[in-house]
Amino acid sequence: MTDARDDAQDATLRRWAADTWQSLVAMTDEGTGLPADRIAGDLDPASRSLNTSPTNIGGYLWSTVAARELGIVGADECRDRLRRAVDSLTTVRRHEPSGMFYNWYAITTGEVMRAFPGGDVIHPFLSSVDNGWLAAGLLVAANAERAVADTAGALARSMDFGSFHDPEAQAHGIPGGLLRGGFWDERPGDARHVVGNHHGRGPDVFYTPHWYGPLMSEPRIASYVGIVHGQVPPEHYAAMHRRTREHRGVRVVATWGGSMFEELMPDLLVPEDVWAPGSFGANHRLTVRTQREFGMDETGYGAWGFSPASLPGGGYSEWGVEPIGLTFGGYPSDMERTLAEAGTWGDGVVTPHASFLALRYEPEAVVANLRHLEEDLGAYGPGGFLDAVAVHSGRLADCYLSLDQSMVMAALGNALGDDVVRRGFATAEVEASLRPLLAAEEFDISPAA
C-alpha cells in the first residue's frame, strides 16, 4: 500500500486497531465463536445483540486474521477463534440446494431466527451480497490459517452463486445476466417476490423482484466470487452498468446512494486500484475526493465520510453524498435529510468507517479527519470509534456495529500489515479470473487518471 504516513500516524493507527478489535471480541459469543450484529458503546455484554448475519461472520474472520498480522492477538488465539467460528458454520442450517447461508442466526445457538427479540417476524432470507461477504471471509481465513484451510475453503466453494444469477436480466442492453438481491425458500408473507429457480436444483424459490445493476456497488463482491468459482459467467461482469454522475467538475461512475462503502468495501479485498488503475483506481480517488470536499467545503460540516451507519440517538440510516448517487435524492448527509438542491445543510452525520475505507487513497486527510472525530467530537470509546456522529449537535450513535468495525479492521490490516486482507483473498486463482476483466475496464470519468 502506497501512502505518505509517518511513524506517529502509524502509532495512532495501531492504537485504533487494538481498540477496534476489542469491540469485536466483546461482540463474539465464546461458545459458538459467532459475532453479534451490534453492541452498546460501553461494551456491556448485556447489550450485545442476539443476532448475526453472514456479512458479520465473514468480517469477523478477516478481522481475526488482521489482528494476528498486527500483533494484537497471537497465533494460537487467532487459530482458536477462526476454528470456533468455522466449525459453527459447518453445523448451522443452510439452504441445501444452493449451499447458501440465511440472513439471521442466533449467536448463542446458531439457529436460524424466525423472529427478532421484539417479536417482529423474520421470513428466512438468503442474500446474494451477504453471502458474498461470508464467502470472501472464508477464503481469507482459508488462505491465512492452515488449521481451517480445508474446512473454510470447502464451505466457500460449496456456496453456489449461480443460484442468484438470472441469465436473462439486463441493466444496459448487454447480455450476461445479473444477480438477484436474494431469495426466500418459503413464501415470504406479503413481500413482493418472483417464483423461479435460476440454477435448476431443488424446489423453486421466491426471488426478490430486483437485481443488482450497478457495477460500482458493494454486491460486486458476490459477482467476483461467483466468477472465480465458475458459477457465474465472466460475461456477467460486462452486463452491469457504469452510469456516471457529475458534481462540481468531477464525473464518477456512481454508486446507488453516493456512499463510501458501496464504492470501496470490495476494494478492501480485491486490489481494484492495482489491477485497473485507470478505471477503478481513478474512480476510487475521485469518489474519496468528492466525499472530502463535500464535507469540508460544500456543506461546512467540518468533517467527512458518509456511508450507511447508525442514526445518532437510535436506529439506522443510509448516509451518502447525494449528488453522486444514482437513486433519486441519493442517500442523505444530514439529520434533516436535506436535498442537494436546497443549497443549505443541517446536522451532518459522518461515520468513521467511511474514513477508514479511504485510508489507502488520502491517508493524511483521513488521519486528520479521524483525529477530529475522536478529539473534538468525542466519537470514541473503549471499542474504538463509535458508529456515527452528528457534527453540529455532537449527538452520537453510541454503539458499535460488527460490519462497520470489520471494515475498519480490514483497512487497518491492509495499511499496517502489507495488505494482509487483500493477500488473503486475491490469490493467484482469483487474480487469473478477475484481473483480465478489470484491466480491460474503461470508465467515462474526469479528471482522467
Residue 5, helix vs strand vs coil = coil
Nine-digit cell at 233?
A: 459467467
- Tell me phi and psi for residue 377, to 5 degrees: -105, -5
Helices (H), 234-297: 235-239, 260-264, 272-275, 282-293
Residue for cell digits 495512532?
12
CB 104 within 8 A of CB 51: yes
Parallel, antiparallel or unpaired: strands 396-397 and 388-390: antiparallel
pLDDT of 389: 99
Secondary element (H or E) of residue 424: helix 420-425
CB 162 within 8 A of CB 178: no
CB 224 within 8 A of CB 129: no
Query: pLDDT, tens digit, for every residue of 337-387?
Result: 998 877 789 999 999 999 999 999 999 999 999 999 999 999 999 999 999
Query: pLDDT, tens digit, for every residue of 250-263?
Result: 999 999 999 999 99
Question: In the chain, helix, strand, coil percent, each to 5?
Answer: 45, 15, 40
Secondary element (H or E) of residue 212: strand 211-212
Helix axes 54-69, 7-27, angle to 10 degrees: 140
CB 233 within 8 A of CB 176: yes
The pTM assigned to this predicted structure is 0.97
pLDDT of 449: 60
The verdict on whether omega for the bond into residue 209 sits within 30 degrees of 0, i.e. cis, is no
pLDDT of 61: 99
**Domain residue extents for the chain:** 7-439
DSSP 53-88: -HHHHHHHHHHHHHHHHTTSS-HHHHHHHHHHHHHH
pLDDT of 4: 65
CA distance 224 to 315: 31
DSSP 98-165: TTEEPS-EETTT-PBPSB-TT--B---EEEHHHHHHHHHHHHHHHHH-HHHHHHHHHHHHH--GGGTE
Q: Return the closest-CA partner of residue 301 out of 214, 228, 389.
A: 389
Query: pLDDT, tens digit, for every residue of 66-117?
Result: 999 999 999 999 999 999 999 999 999 999 999 999 999 999 999 999 999 9
- Tell me phi and psi for residue 171, to 5 degrees: -105, -30
CA distance 354 to 22: 20
Q: Which sign does the torsion angle of CA 63, 6, 400, 352 carry?
A: negative
Q: Exposure of 309 by Cβ count < 10 A (0-12 exposed, 13-18 middle, 19+ buried)? A: buried
CA distance 182 to 332: 26
Domain 7-439 sits in CATH at 1.50.10.140
C-beta neighbour count of 153 within 10 angstroms = 16
**Which residue numbers in the chain have pLDDT < 50?**
1-2
Nine-digit cell at 256?
A: 446507488
- The DSSP call for residue 199 is T
